[in-house]
Structure 1
Amino acid sequence: MRISKRIASASPLATTAMHGRVDQMKLQGEEVIDFSIAISHFAAPEAVRRDVSDMALHDVLPYTAVGGAHGLRARLVEKLKMENEIDALPEEVIVTNGAKQALYEAMYAMTDPGDTVIVFRPYWPAYLATARLLGLEVVLVDLPEVLTAGLLDTLPPARLLILNNPHNPTGKVFARDELDLLEGWLARTGCGAIVDESYEKLLYSQPHHSLSSAGQWRKLGIVTIFSASQSYAMMGWRCGFAVGPADVVSAMETLQGPITAAPSALTQAACEAAFFSGEPHHLVADYQGRRDLVMDMLSPVKWMKVRIPDSGPYIWVDVTALGCDTVAFSERLLAEKRVAIMPGDALGMPGFIRMGFISDDIATLRKGMAAIVAFGNEINQDSR
C-alpha cells in the first residue's frame, strides 16, 4: 500500500515516542524512572470525577454541536472573563480533544501551505510537527530571557507566530510589558498569533497574563488555547478549548466536524467541572516543593546550568559543559541507569535536557535525579 508523501516524511513526536518506549520496558518487567514526560501523580479534581460518574451512570449521552454544547461554551466564556480578562462570545469558543487538536485546527484554519510560522526555541515538539504536516515554513527564534522591541524588529514577515505562555520547557512566564510589545508588533506587521496557555495554573512566583486580555485579539487574529491536562492533572481526559475570532473558530469547526465532531459528552462534562473546580492550590504547592527539591540537588552540579522555572512541571538544564551528544547521553542513561529524560534536540536545543518532576513519589524523584547526577559525573570525569 502506498503511503502519502505528506505523512511518509513525518516522524512520531519524540516526546511521546520516548514515553512509549518506557511503557514497553515496564511491560517487560523492567524498573524505569520516567522523567521524559510530565504525568501528574494527582487525581483529577473530585468535582470532575463526580460529575462524569453521575453523567455516565444516569444520563443519556447525546451528540452535541461540533464546537461543543452551547451551555458549556457559555460557561467557558465566564471563565475567560473572570480569570483571563478576555471578553468573548460563545460562538468564539470551540471545545476540543485536548490542546493538540485545537493547535492543529487553528494552524490549519489560519495558514496555507508555504506560509511562514515563527516558533520560539526550545519548543513544544507538536508546534513543529504540526507545521510540517501542513506544509508551512518554520522560522525558529531563540527564546530570550526578556522579549524586547529590538528582538521583535528582527523577526521576518510571517503569517503566524506561536507563543507558549507559560513556556514549556523553560518555565518562563511572559510579563505584561512583554505581551504589550508583542501586541504592538502584531498590529504593525499583520501577523496573527496562536497562544498556548495550557500551563496557566502552574505558577510559582510570577502572575500569568493572557495576550488576548488587551482587548484587540479579534482585530489582530489571536487564538488562545487552554487545556485541563496539566493545570488540573487530567492528562488522559483529553480536555481542551480555544477562543478566537468567530470566523477562525467557525473554520476550526468545519475541520473538526469530519475528524471527531464534538468531544464526547463525558469529556465536555469534565471540561466544565475542571475549569470551575477552583484554583489547584494543593497541586501547585506540591509541585513547587518538588521543584525546589530538584533545584537543591542540581544547582551545585558544576556541569549543569539550571535556571529555576517560574511555572510548569519541567526542569530545563544546560549540559553543554559535558561536551557530549545529548541524544547519546539520554540513550545511555536509559540503558545503563534505567532513567528516561528528554534530550533537548527533540525541542530544538542540542546540549540541553528536559526533566519532568511531578510523577511518582518523592523517594523515586530523589533516586532518579541522583542517578542522573552520578551518570553525568562519570562522563565528566572520563572526559578529563
Structure 2
Amino acid sequence: MQVSKRIAAARPLATTAMHERVDVLKLQGEEVIDFSIAISHFPAPEHVRAAVAEAVQQPLLPYTAVGGAAALRQKLAAKVGAENGITAGAAEVIVTNGAKQALYQSLYVMSDPGDTVIVFRPHWPAYVATAQLLGLNIVLVDQPARIDAAFLDTLPRAKVLIVNNPHNPSGKVFARDELLAIAAWLRARSAHCIVDESYEKLIFEGRHHSLAALAKDWADIGVVTIFSASQSYAMMGWRAGFAVAPAALVKAMEALQGPITAAVPALSQVAAEAAFATGDVPELVADYRARRDLVVGMFSAVPWIKMTRPDSGPYLWGDISGLTMDTNAFAETLIEQYRVAIMPGEALGCAGFIRIGYIADDVATLKRGVDAIIALGNKLAAAGQAA
C-alpha cells in the first residue's frame, strides 16, 4: 500500500533516529555512551513524582477540557506572569504533550501551505521537519553572534519567525536589546513569531528574557511562547509542556488538538502542575555547569576542535570544520568503532560541527565518551597530516 504524498518525503528526525539506534545496540548487549540527545541523570523532582503517585490512587481520572484543566491553565498563566513577566490569562494557555506538540499546533494554525517561515541556523531539527510536514517555504538563515536591526532588515518577508531562546545547540541566551529588535521587526513586517523557551531554567551566565514580556503587545503581534518541563525539570519522558498564545490562536489549537489527542493525559497534567510550580533548580544547574566546564576543559588543548562555553542548555556545540566537514561520517565512525553517539551538525543545518549532550550518566562515563571523541579526532588528524 502506498502512503500519502504528504508523508512520503518525510524522514524520521535525525536526533530521535540516532537515539533509537543506541537503544537497539543496548538491547543487543552493547555498551554505548549516548551524547546524541540530552537525557538528564537527575530524576524528576520528588514532589512531581509524589503528586502523580497520589493522583494514581484516586478512583477517577476523567477527561479534562481539550486545552487542559481550568485550574492548571490558571496556574500556568500565573507562572508566566510571575517568572517570565508575560501578562496572560488562562484562555491564552494551552497544555500540550511537550514542546513538539505545541510547535506543530501553533505553526499549523498560524500558517497555510506555501507560507514562508524563517528558521535560524543551527536549529533544533523539529523546526524544519514540522515546517516541511505543513508544506511551508522554509528559509534557513545563519544566526549571528548578535541580532540587531541591520541583520533583521536583511531577512525576507515571512509569515512566521521561529526563535529558540535559550538556543539549542549553541547555548546562546538572547539579550534584552536583541529581543526588542526582533519585536520591532515583527511589527514592521506584520510577521508572527514562535518562541521556544524550553530551556528557560538552564541558565549558567546572563539572564533569560521572554520576548512576550518585553513586547507588551505580544498578542496583537501574534507571539506564541512554548514551555517544556523536559529539560528544565529533567522530565524528558513525562511529555509535559504548554504554550502561551493569543486567545484566538489557543482556540484554533484546541480545534486541532481535539480530534488528534483530545486533552493531555490527566497524570501528565498533574505532573505539569507540580513541575511548573517548582521555580528555579539551582542544584541541577550547578551540576550541569560543572559538567560543561569539565568537558570544555578537556577539549581546550585539542587543536582540531573549537568548543564554545555555552551560557545555557544541555548541549555543547563544537566546530570541527578544520578536521572534516563531513560530520555525518565522523558520527558514524564514532558509534561504529567507539560506541559513542553524537549528533552531526548536518542534522542541525551546519556541516562541520558536532553536538554533544553532556548531562547523561555519571562523570566517569562522560569523561570516557569525550576521550573517545578526542581519540577519533586525533586519529583522523594524524591520517590527514600523513597524507
TM-score, normalised to structure 2, is: 0.98
- Give me the whole-angstrom Cα distance separating, in 1, the residues matched to 2:271 and 2:167: 25
SS at match of 1:120: strand
Q: Where does residue 331 of structure 1 map in the other structure?
A: 332
Q: Where does residue 282 of structure 2 map in the other structure?
A: 281
Superposition deviation, residue 2 in structure 1: 1.8
SS at match of 2:77: helix
Superposition deviation, residue 148 in structure 1: 1.3
Q: Where does residue 245 of structure 2 map in the other structure?
A: 244
Give the root-mean-square deviation of aligned CA atoms: 0.7
1:267/1:302 Cα in 2 relative to 1: closer, same or farther (>3 Å)?
A: same
Q: Where does residue 293 of structure 2 map in the other structure?
A: 292
Superposition deviation, residue 58 in structure 1: 2.4
What one-letter code is carried by the residue in structure 2 that aligns with 1:322? L
1:164-201 Cα offsets, whole Å, 9 max, x none, are 00000000000001000000000100010000000000
Would you say 1:50 and 2:50 are equivalent positions? yes
Q: Where does residue 162 of structure 1 map in the other structure?
A: 162
Q: Where does residue 104 of structure 1 map in the other structure?
A: 104
Q: Where does residue 230 of structure 2 map in the other structure?
A: 229
- Give me the whole-angstrom Cα distance separating, in 1, the residues matched to 2:373 and 2:384: 17
Q: Where does residue 63 of structure 1 map in the other structure?
A: 63
- Give me the whole-angstrom Cα distance separating, in 1, the residues matched to 2:166 and 2:300: 22
- Unmatched tracts of structure 2, length 5 or more: none
Q: Percent identity?
A: 63
- Give me the whole-angstrom Cα distance separating, in 1, the residues matched to 2:94 and 2:339: 41
Q: Following superposition, which runs of at least 4 residues in structure 1 exceed 3 angstroms of deviation?
A: none
What one-letter code is carried by the residue in structure 2 that aligns with 1:135? G
Q: Where does residue 379 of structure 1 map in the other structure?
A: 380
Q: Where does residue 267 of structure 1 map in the other structure?
A: 268
- Give me the whole-angstrom Cα distance separating, in 2, the residues matched to 1:321 and 1:29: 35
What one-letter code is carried by the residue in structure 1 that aligns with 2:247? A
TM-score, normalised to structure 1, is: 0.99
- Give me the whole-angstrom Cα distance separating, in 2, the residues matched to 1:159 and 1:227: 24
What one-letter code is carried by the residue in structure 1 that aligns with 2:12? P
Q: How does 1:1-384 map to 2 (within 5 A)?
A: 1-214=1-214, 215-384=216-385
1:301-351 Cα offsets, whole Å, 9 max, x none, are 111011110000000000001135110110001111111000000000010
What one-letter code is carried by the residue in structure 2 that aligns with 1:128? V
What one-letter code is carried by the residue in structure 2 that aligns with 1:281? P
Tell whether the 8 Å contact from 2:165 to 2:172 is kept in structure 1 after alignment. Answer: yes
Superposition deviation, residue 299 in structure 1: 1.6
Moved more, 156-165 or 57-66: 57-66
Superposition deviation, residue 209 in structure 1: 0.2
What one-letter code is carried by the residue in structure 1 that aligns with 2:19? H
Tell whether the 8 Å contact from 2:117 to 2:158 is kept in structure 1 after alignment. Answer: yes
Tell whether the 8 Å contact from 2:70 to 2:90 is kept in structure 1 after alignment. Answer: yes
1:267-288 Cα offsets, whole Å, 9 max, x none, are 0000010011231111111000
- Unmatched tracts of structure 1, length 5 or more: none
- Give me the whole-angstrom Cα distance separating, in 1, the residues matched to 2:139 and 2:370: 34
SS at match of 2:232: coil
- Give me the whole-angstrom Cα distance separating, in 2, the residues matched to 1:333 and 1:323: 14
Superposition deviation, residue 59 in structure 1: 4.4
- Give me the whole-angstrom Cα distance separating, in 2, the residues matched to 1:66 and 1:277: 24
1:181/1:52 Cα in 2 relative to 1: closer, same or farther (>3 Å)?
A: same
Tell whether the 8 Å contact from 2:325 to 2:351 is kept in structure 1 after alignment. Answer: no
1:61-88 Cα offsets, whole Å, 9 max, x none, are 0100000000000000110110000010
Superposition deviation, residue 6 in structure 1: 1.1
1:324/1:246 Cα in 2 relative to 1: closer, same or farther (>3 Å)?
A: closer
Moved more, 317-326 or 236-245: 317-326
- Give me the whole-angstrom Cα distance separating, in 1, the residues matched to 2:325 and 2:55: 53
SS at match of 1:321: coil
